[in-house]
Amino acid sequence: MIHALLIDAGGVLFNNITEETSFVPELARRYAVDAERLLRAVQAAAPGYERGDRGVHDVLRRLLAEAGSPRAGAYDPDGVDRLYADSVRCHDANVAELAAVARDHPELTLVLANNEAEHWDHLKNERHHHYGLFDHLCSSWRVGRVKPSAAYFAAVLEHCGAAAHEALMVDDRAAVVAAARALGLRTLHVTSPPVLRADLRATVERLTRDASRQGIRTR
């Protein structure tokens, strides 16, 4: 039986901004730096702002300066926020399916389990109000760890009071799915947004049936 449903955001409930949109290339164009160099720098620096070590705008301002931008001194955080927010696409059908599964399975604890900068996590919520879906918010910056580290999963499981075998990790990244499985969590790999709608309910119900057959009591 699963008790905790751990849901990633980017690639599951939303698009992946860095990988799937023109956010970084457009940022590079605005600040007159090489787009490929900036993308590599952002990807390398992401764990730092996702853990909450530094604010995302502080990091971007530094990366633009290091890339030789003549405009880094005039960095505009509000303009960058608008560019980021306009790049976000919510997979509304997936949000609706998750909400429906939660209604049908009130025994489940829903956990937001994503890597994201604090500022942009809040920015997404201001537009899409996805925090309200969850019983626990365990974004990387809240727990000070990033997926797929074992420390991240340990912190999240402790926070929501679940053992590894009682948790189902739903994520689009193969590395996260593999790490979660190695730690004993159940997993659902969302390789494209429609996979969640096709497989989430079936996976939850299969795990529930398996537990019932084995005589495991639900909480």
Cβ pair 156, 111 in contact under 8 A: yes
Q: What is the pTM of this model?
A: 0.92
What's residue 213's pLDDT? 58
Q: 145-176 burial by CB neighbour count: b if 16+ within 10 A, else e?
A: bbbbeeebbebbbeebebebebbbbbbbbeeb
User: How high is the pLDDT of residue 218?
Assistant: 42
pLDDT at 208: 81
- Mapped onto helix, strand or coil, the DSSP state of residue 5 is strand
pLDDT given at position 3:
93
Q: How many CB atoms lie within 10 A of CB 52?
A: 18
Low-confidence ranges of the chain (pLDDT < 70): 211-219
Whole-number pLDDT of residue 90: 97
Say what angle helices 150-160 and 174-182 make with each other, to 10 degrees: 70
pLDDT at position 155: 97
What per-residue confidence (pLDDT) applies to 1? 76
The pLDDT, as a whole number, for residue 216 is: 47
In the block, tokens 């996805």 appear at 130
Question: What is the pLDDT, as a whole number, of residue 214?
Answer: 60
